[in-house]
Structure 1
Amino acid sequence: MLRQATKSSISRRLSGVSKLAVKSGLKATVASYLTSRAVPATRPYSTRSTVVQLLNNIGSKREVEQYLKYFTSVSQQQFAVIKVGGAIITQQLPELASCLAFLYHVGLYPIVLHGTGPQINELLENEGVEPEYIDGIRITNPKTMEVVRKCFLEQNLRLVTALEKMGVHARPITTGVFGAEYLDKDKYQLVGKVNSVNKSSIEAAIEAGYLPILTSLAETPSGQLLNVNADVAAGELAREFEPLKIVYLNEKGGIINGNTGEKVSVINLDEEYEDLLKESWVKYGTKLKIKEIHDLLQHLPRSSSVAIIDVDDLQKELFTDSGAGTLIRRGYKLINRNSLKEFGNPDLLRNALLRDPEIKSGKLSVASYLKTLETTSFKSYGDEPLEVLAIVKDDAQIPKLDKFLSSKTGWLNNVTDNIFNSIKKDFSSLFWVVHENDSNLSWYFSKSDGSFAKNGEILFWYGLNTGEVSNLIKEFDSSNIGSSLSSSKESGVFSSPTQKRGIHTKTFGIRSFHSSSANFSSNPNPPVKEGTNTKVAKVALIGARGYTGQNLISLIDNHKYLEISHVSSRELEGQKLQGYNKGNIVYSNLQVEDIKKLEENNEVDVWVMALPNGVCKPFVDAIESVASSNSKIVDLSADYRFDTTGEWTYGLPELNSRQQIAKAKKISNPGCYATAAQCAIAPLKEYINGTPNIFGVSGYSGAGTKPSPKNDVNFLANNLIPYSLTDHIHEKEISNQLGLDVAFMPHVAQWFQGISHTVSIPIKKGSLTSREIRNIYQERYQGEQLITVSGEAPLVRDISGKHGVVIGGFAVNSKEDRVVIVATIDNLLKGAATQCLQNINLSMGYGEYEGIPDDLEIRG
């Protein structure tokens, strides 16, 4: 019997999640769904690996809530059929078990069916038997069937045992599900064709709170075992249970486009099937697989879909908007209409238009809008049920996307992408207007060539030349042309911070207008929003006593994939590391010999050198002396910022090649003053006509912990201390990296942390206006989570404790030959620890912003 899980059992099950999950609201979300769904009262609490899987693979509270609601809308047997290849059990059993345990612990019961092909071949080879195939089907004689049965039983037990160790009740079901007849006894011998599915043992397992783990062995009415292809068996299960998801786990992680080498994200069969089969790369096994899936889905509800994914991406595919592998569904054919008469069903059209915010608010009625269409040339786009409706008015020189209305289903099923692609085929140029608070704003940015923001609305376009853009902006600027598209608040599909393409909703006008006087371009070095690595890495901090070390420790403590293995400090040797909760770490005083030994034993994945200038080299040499060394090194000092050997990479991701940082073994972390100054100057390099002057003021934490007048609070009271007014090391660093001379004048003030730069930049006379300069910066830093462009000069008090750089002001003098720009940065975070974590993330293959809060709320 099942009963509702008690609050205490839920709490125990989620106890390991508390710190990180509470912050994001995931614990409450998962707990609410466990409470709302029957789960075994005796189920153990989640293992650590399951909790890690939870936190590593789902993107946001909204996504978890959305998809759990979706998956729990049907009976437990109808959630998913998951087919597991035999190679995955051999090579990725821990990952597979963890994925399935995750689903089990949130109250979902997939029907799991596995193959065992590679294991059969290995056993046959060991016994000197050569596998035989006809038309891709294994000939199964009695000797081979003996091996097949043995392999199935062994692999089934391996998977069930691995699940039980993770607190999952799993039930092996090795026979009795599939009834079959001989496929062709003379040709294939003991190979079966499934003619019936007995659901009772599967339903009984799920009702008792067990995951059913099946083999694809079938039986004749007389009890003869027959071998059945696992993909075929999974299809028969799907036809019987009609699940929401059919999942094929394979090593490639999806269907690969043979021409581009890229993974195909989505296939909508009703729209794409016939053209897809004509593609030159769709042949052999790929063509057969697509045909089989097409035939399968024809008999299932439209809500069903097939996902072909890698085992590591199972949760991402199921629980996030972005997905992971190849999603295949029937979808709907798209229908184009050029008049109201062509809609046929007026109620369907009215219901679609009721999603429009103007109509919802009463500012516009459906009837009055339809009347305008009677006298306007337009073309509409939609799927058959009008889950998405787009209307393009093409009676002007530049066509306008007047309505783009989608239900939540339309967003989730990517019908919106299909519609927009169809529009783009018909219209080489287009513009549209969107509210700045539209929850799908990043999607609109991804579809545009440029944008311009004013008074809470954003003008988008594609396919326009410079003159057309200029005229369009003038019209929008003066008369606020048109009305905004739907705010789409009912969806919010693209508001997740985990999306691969998008902006931060705090930054407006990200893709700004292109003019003849300014050669604007989008960010040529876009951020890495998502990584491919999910393995935990061990970090050793050498010299972690100072403020930067403390902040880095705090960031690592909240990072999914990083753990501290060693901290070294001569002054703190023997003391417990404070502010770190993942383990009991004690400071040691590591010497060169110790570091070499740790590297030889592969005990460290990333070395962070948080040492004073001039001290780092012996430790680096010790690491590099190990022939098998494959760890990464990030140096926070200035020792290698001027490297000319090519061995060190300068780690300022927003300005330097992220690809180079990702490949680098040794990374030199930029200075705090230097980071903000470079970000403030770099976008204007081609317009600079002279020496930029940087007036920099830092809080006294920048002077370190060693006592001096520059960190003496009493001496700093009501005071400002200038120092190193020429030839400061950061002056050299900025000049070296930008490739032009700058003048830098540093000062220390009485606040603790945060830097303010006022940068005076001489520019070519009359080359740029203040607005054009701001647009250049917005364009250049498109999508950068850690850089915000503001119309106003930012204040240092607003940046303290925040993880980024704010750039603003953009004041051009009356002669139009000089611009003054203000930049602020927290010297301990983006100026040091946060930037270090960015570099670690990139070099280790994690998402660039993993573990870094998105907390810049400054607007302008």
Structure 2
Amino acid sequence: MGQKPKISALSFISLFTLMLSRLKTGSVATRSLASTGRFLLRPTMARSLPAQHKIIRSYGQDQSSTAEKETIAKLLYNIGSRKEVEQYLRHFSSVESQKFAVIKVGGAVLTDELDTLASALTFLNRVGLYPIVLHGAGPQLNRLLEDANVEPQYNEGIRITDAKTLEIARKVFQQENLKLVEALERHGTRARPIPSGVFVADYLDREKYGYVGKIKSVNKSGIESAIRAGTLPILTSLAETPDGQILNVNADVAAAELATVLEPLKIVFLNEKNGLYHGVTGKKIDVINLDEEYEDLLKEPWVKYGTKLKIKECKELLDRLPRSSSVAIISAGHLHKELFTDSGAGTLIRRGHKLFKYDALDKIDPDKLRHILEAEDPAIKSGQTSVASYLRDLQQKKVNVYMDEPGQVLAVVTQDPTVADAPAVLEKFVTNKTAALNNVPDNLWTNIKKDHPALTWEITKEEEDGNLDKSWHFERAEGSLRNPHTGKTLFFYGIEGADKVKKTFDGFSGRRQFSTYAQQRRGYSTQSRKNVGLIGARGYTGRELINLIDSHPHLNLTHVSSRELEGKPLEGYNKEKLTYVNLKPQDLKDHDEVDAWILALPNGVCHPFVHQIEQDVKDGKLQDKSLIDLSADYRFEESWTYGLPEFNREKLAGATRISNPGCYATGAQMSIKPLLPFIQSPPTVFGVSGYSGAGTKPSNKNDPAFLKDNIIPYALTGHIHEREVSYQLGTPIHFTPHVAPWFQGIALTVNIPLNKSMSSRDVKDLFSEFYQNEKLVKIIEGEPPLVRDIAGKHNVSIGGFGVQADGKRAVIVTTIDNLLKGAATQALQNLNLSLGFDEYAGIPSQ
């Protein structure tokens, strides 16, 4: 089988349902999701979507409708990277509305998962998409037939439909159709019932099957009218003869006929099992590429009965459709993940392309080779080299070239035959967007890995921004190393032994590495990977940390602990499959393989964990560990190192007890520290945060409905961050926090009385010099920084630099993402310094 490369589906739908439950009555087009609920988690979820109205097809042009679509699109970032989500949104929005997706819903789904289905469909509609839904009602029909003492009859798998059966079927279909429409409308989604009038049919064989139809044509007008009116069309599989006789048609058959006429990007069959399963291993089949696998697949002894029939039906359907179309077999709760992420969730069936391997350049179509290199290779597009010179250099090497049939993906692997046991080198791996969206690179990668047990490859900064981003490479590598001088990253797999790995790294870096702190910060470490455990993984910051560790070159996440999510699979982490656990303090001694624990717990909760670890270390039951505490519990403890790297870097290197600063506290200190020698009297800090800063426990401070058109001041005196900043800076400050109706990001306006007269330029120059070597501090010229520009960013932005006319009061404006540099990103800086890695390892460059 091929592989398909990223909140839990149940959690996602639950969050979305919670959000919908908070909607007030009124037009969907005039609601703003900024006022709908406290559901907006994210790995990177509240990162702004530039020009989102261009990505998502609009229904209504008012400002609140646009805000709704932008906000709900951000919820998608719970399940995948921003890049892949945006790719799919553009992809789906590039076709006519009726060509997005045909979704066939089984009758059992309507009975068992109605609310989940309605939430999933509502979600799609909220991002401007209009799936065409066609449902069956088999189980319901059987139940009513049994009540009427009518025994169902089948011939060759087709239900024989007599007059009595048809009478009951018509009633059942109408009931189930209205049931789904009403469920959607309860969620605030407009839907139109279309129980008949779409399919025109003749009798399949009246003598043999009775009132069973064979579809001859499809009337699209009702579907198109529904979509033009901004409603989801909800269809049944009932057909009619030209003279008006109703006929029964199998819902799978009707969905296939509908797809043949509409040619959608996606044909989705919803089932309870969430896909097709391998008959021997019992594992779900992720992807079936028909052009490559169909014939061999049908020869497998376990491919029989319903599985065989479904694969054959999909083959026949996709052979009639454009190659861009695909079939997904998925459960209702996983629908969003299947559609918007590379990893998917169910079984994806597509035609794909045949893949070819060449051992000589003269066997390849030169025009096809030239076309993809000129279109997609950064070195050739930038003029660094030409196609001709690159191909000339390849003539001198032992080479394998991998391509797909239309020439949308290219990989070039070379081998040095003069060096024993030398790993192969992946010199080129380029793909266009269409192939990336259809996962063709993954199929090619599978073939490369079969042929080459050990492999190294490098990517440049330009390639990180290509159609395959950096995370794609991390997921396929066993190790990596970034060279900060060249900006390149080296990846490898299959290289056994520390000496061979070091040799590979030394060859890449061109110089020996040392383990001193200064060298590590400016260079990179050759240390092996370290294991990290995360306690408190349910919250917003926990999700961000999982995301960052997932792309970290030296860290493995081995434990994620959450009482609420215990037993559920961890979504969004790709290095290995993990399940949430509920760790108690006494459990930690049984996990000596963990090198560092991150405590992402509420204030006052982590002390038992710290105490137990220190007692177990004292008793010899456990090796000492690095502990990063994200709460306020140890920010005033002298025995702990305060984790603000820009001010405390040397102490953090190798530290094993680190208290991560608060988000407001980080921004406030960075706003004041350069002016500390010139402060006349206590600075005043006016802070406004998005509601993610209020956590996930329901309250007015994280209720968008309560926050709409509002800003809430709280903790007017004595806030923990006021005490924290005063303690760390050694001078009192006055701080008043507020919460506002955006999700993440903080704005701080800081008034600082000065003991000497200064100009705006003096203040700006002072800050520029103070932070001149800090990668995560950005000094803003001109207008003050805006909070909308910081969401999803890993830096702090400092600007404003206003000075009162007499030069004795400076006003600094600072913005910071409270979930990233205010929490998760800073925690990763501290973890890197504690474990001896490059401080910025795993932190995306801005």
Q: Secondary structure at the match of 1:335?
A: strand
Summarize the alignment of residues 771-782 of structure 1 with structure 2, pairs less than 5 Å apart. Answer: none
- How far residue 755 of structure 1 moved from its aligned partner, in angstroms, is 6.4
- How far residue 477 of structure 1 moved from its aligned partner, in angstroms, is 4.2
Partner of residue 668 from structure 1, selected from 584, 596, 615: 584
Greater RCO (Cα-Cα under 8 Å, separation 6 or more)? 2
2:166 counterpart of 1:145: yes
Partner of residue 507 from structure 2, selected from 467, 475, 491: 475
More divergent stretch after superposition (119-128 vs 39-48): 39-48
**Residues 298, 500 of structure 1: CA spacing in aligned structure 2 closer, same or farther, 3 A cutoff?**
farther
- In structure 1, distance between residues paired with 2:222 and 2:64: 21
2:451 counterpart of 1:426: yes
In the alignment, is the contact (CA less than 8 A) between 1:192 and 1:228 conserved in 2? yes
2:683 counterpart of 1:824: no
In the alignment, is the contact (CA less than 8 A) between 1:335 and 1:384 conserved in 2? yes
2:297 counterpart of 1:450: no
In the alignment, is the contact (CA less than 8 A) between 2:644 and 2:660 conserved in 1? no
Letter in structure 2 aligned against 1:408: K
2:778 counterpart of 1:753: no
Partner of residue 206 from structure 1, selected from 213, 227, 241: 227
- How far residue 264 of structure 1 moved from its aligned partner, in angstroms, is 1.6
Letter in structure 2 aligned against 1:269: L
2:706 is aligned to: none
**Residues 824, 509 of structure 1: CA spacing in aligned structure 2 closer, same or farther, 3 A cutoff?**
same
- How far residue 367 of structure 1 moved from its aligned partner, in angstroms, is 1.7
- How far residue 740 of structure 1 moved from its aligned partner, in angstroms, is 4.6
Q: Secondary structure at the match of 2:142?
A: helix
Summarize the alignment of residues 281-680 of structure 1 with structure 2, pairs less than 5 Å apart. Answer: 281-346=302-367, 348-396=369-417, 397-435=422-460, 438=464, 440-455=469-484, 456-466=487-497, 468-478=500-510, 504=549, 507-510=552-555, 662=581, 668-669=584-585
In the alignment, is the contact (CA less than 8 A) between 2:409 and 2:435 conserved in 1? yes
Q: Secondary structure at the match of 1:332?
A: coil
- In structure 2, distance between residues paired with 1:114 and 1:478: 62
- How far residue 155 of structure 1 moved from its aligned partner, in angstroms, is 0.5
**Residues 31, 471 of structure 1: CA spacing in aligned structure 2 closer, same or farther, 3 A cutoff?**
closer
Kindly tell me the number of residue pairs found equivalent between the two proteins.
592
**Residues 41, 469 of structure 1: CA spacing in aligned structure 2 closer, same or farther, 3 A cutoff?**
closer
**Residues 368, 242 of structure 1: CA spacing in aligned structure 2 closer, same or farther, 3 A cutoff?**
same
2:179 is aligned to: 158
What RMSD in Å do the two structures reach over aligned CA positions? Answer: 4.9
**Residues 87, 703 of structure 1: CA spacing in aligned structure 2 closer, same or farther, 3 A cutoff?**
closer
In the alignment, is the contact (CA less than 8 A) between 1:809 and 1:822 conserved in 2? no
1:267 is aligned to: 288
- In structure 1, distance between residues paired with 2:401 and 2:171: 59
- How far residue 64 of structure 1 moved from its aligned partner, in angstroms, is 4.0
Letter in structure 1 aligned against 2:32: R
More divergent stretch after superposition (18-27 vs 169-178): 18-27
In the alignment, is the contact (CA less than 8 A) between 1:54 and 1:102 conserved in 2? no
2:684 is aligned to: none
**Residues 166, 442 of structure 1: CA spacing in aligned structure 2 closer, same or farther, 3 A cutoff?**
closer
- How far residue 461 of structure 1 moved from its aligned partner, in angstroms, is 2.7
Letter in structure 2 aligned against 1:461: F
**Residues 756, 502 of structure 1: CA spacing in aligned structure 2 closer, same or farther, 3 A cutoff?**
same
Letter in structure 2 aligned against 1:400: V
Q: Deviations over 1:387-434 (max 9, x none)?
A: 211001124343211111122333222111111110122222222223
- In structure 1, distance between residues paired with 2:376 and 2:301: 41
In the alignment, is the contact (CA less than 8 A) between 1:800 and 1:825 conserved in 2? no
**Residues 78, 371 of structure 1: CA spacing in aligned structure 2 closer, same or farther, 3 A cutoff?**
same
- In structure 1, distance between residues paired with 2:494 and 2:551: 26
User: TM-score of the superposition, structure 1-length normalised?
Assistant: 0.60
**Residues 165, 501 of structure 1: CA spacing in aligned structure 2 closer, same or farther, 3 A cutoff?**
closer
Q: Deviations over 1:471-511 (max 9, x none)?
A: 4344334379xxxxxxxxxxxxxxxx98999864874445x
Q: Secondary structure at the match of 1:854?
A: helix
Q: Secondary structure at the match of 1:855?
A: helix
Letter in structure 2 aligned against 1:449: E
Letter in structure 2 aligned against 1:826: N
2:31 counterpart of 1:12: yes
- How far residue 731 of structure 1 moved from its aligned partner, in angstroms, is 3.4
- How far residue 115 of structure 1 moved from its aligned partner, in angstroms, is 0.2
- In structure 2, distance between residues paired with 1:534 and 1:732: 31
2:645 is aligned to: 798
More divergent stretch after superposition (26-35 vs 61-70): 26-35
Letter in structure 2 aligned against 1:14: L
- In structure 2, distance between residues paired with 1:756 and 1:102: 49
Letter in structure 2 aligned against 1:417: D
In the alignment, is the contact (CA less than 8 A) between 2:482 and 2:489 conserved in 1? yes
Letter in structure 2 aligned against 1:798: P
- How far residue 145 of structure 1 moved from its aligned partner, in angstroms, is 1.0
**Residues 350, 101 of structure 1: CA spacing in aligned structure 2 closer, same or farther, 3 A cutoff?**
closer
- How far residue 216 of structure 1 moved from its aligned partner, in angstroms, is 0.4
Letter in structure 2 aligned against 1:739: K
Q: Secondary structure at the match of 1:122?
A: helix
In the alignment, is the contact (CA less than 8 A) between 1:83 and 1:248 conserved in 2? yes
- In structure 2, distance between residues paired with 1:257 and 1:190: 36
In the alignment, is the contact (CA less than 8 A) between 2:474 and 2:553 conserved in 1? no
1:732 is aligned to: 615
Partner of residue 114 from structure 2, selected from 78, 82, 93: 93
2:240 is aligned to: 219
Q: Secondary structure at the match of 2:324?
A: coil
Q: Secondary structure at the match of 1:222?
A: coil
- How far residue 122 of structure 1 moved from its aligned partner, in angstroms, is 0.6
Q: Secondary structure at the match of 2:495?
A: coil
- In structure 2, distance between residues paired with 1:239 and 1:204: 19
**Residues 232, 30 of structure 1: CA spacing in aligned structure 2 closer, same or farther, 3 A cutoff?**
farther
Summarize the alignment of residues 107-186 of structure 1 with structure 2, pairs less than 5 Å apart. Answer: 107-186=128-207
Give ranges in structure 2 of 5+ residues lacking alignment.
1-26, 513-541, 597-602, 627-631, 664-691, 697-818, 830-837, 840-846
Give ranges in structure 1 of 5+ residues lacking alignment.
1-7, 481-496, 511-521, 536-559, 561-652, 686-700, 706-726, 745-749, 759-793, 811-820, 839-850
Percent identity, aligned pairs only, is 44
- In structure 2, distance between residues paired with 1:393 and 1:404: 12
In the alignment, is the contact (CA less than 8 A) between 1:217 and 1:226 conserved in 2? yes
- In structure 2, distance between residues paired with 1:20 and 1:806: 39
In the alignment, is the contact (CA less than 8 A) between 1:64 and 1:320 conserved in 2? yes
Letter in structure 2 aligned against 1:855: T
- In structure 1, distance between residues paired with 2:606 and 2:137: 61
In the alignment, is the contact (CA less than 8 A) between 1:378 and 1:395 conserved in 2? no
In the alignment, is the contact (CA less than 8 A) between 1:349 and 1:386 conserved in 2? no
Letter in structure 2 aligned against 1:252: K
More divergent stretch after superposition (173-182 vs 159-168): 159-168
Q: Deviations over 1:775-821 (max 9, x none)?
A: xxxxxxxxxxxxxxxxxxx86333999xxx999746xxxxxxxxxx6
- In structure 1, distance between residues paired with 2:307 and 2:662: 52
**Residues 533, 118 of structure 1: CA spacing in aligned structure 2 closer, same or farther, 3 A cutoff?**
farther
**Residues 684, 88 of structure 1: CA spacing in aligned structure 2 closer, same or farther, 3 A cutoff?**
closer
**Residues 146, 399 of structure 1: CA spacing in aligned structure 2 closer, same or farther, 3 A cutoff?**
same
In the alignment, is the contact (CA less than 8 A) between 2:558 and 2:594 conserved in 1? no
**Residues 828, 21 of structure 1: CA spacing in aligned structure 2 closer, same or farther, 3 A cutoff?**
closer
Q: Secondary structure at the match of 2:102?
A: strand
- In structure 1, distance between residues paired with 2:368 and 2:558: 47
In the alignment, is the contact (CA less than 8 A) between 1:304 and 1:329 conserved in 2? yes
**Residues 826, 359 of structure 1: CA spacing in aligned structure 2 closer, same or farther, 3 A cutoff?**
same
Letter in structure 1 aligned against 2:658: T
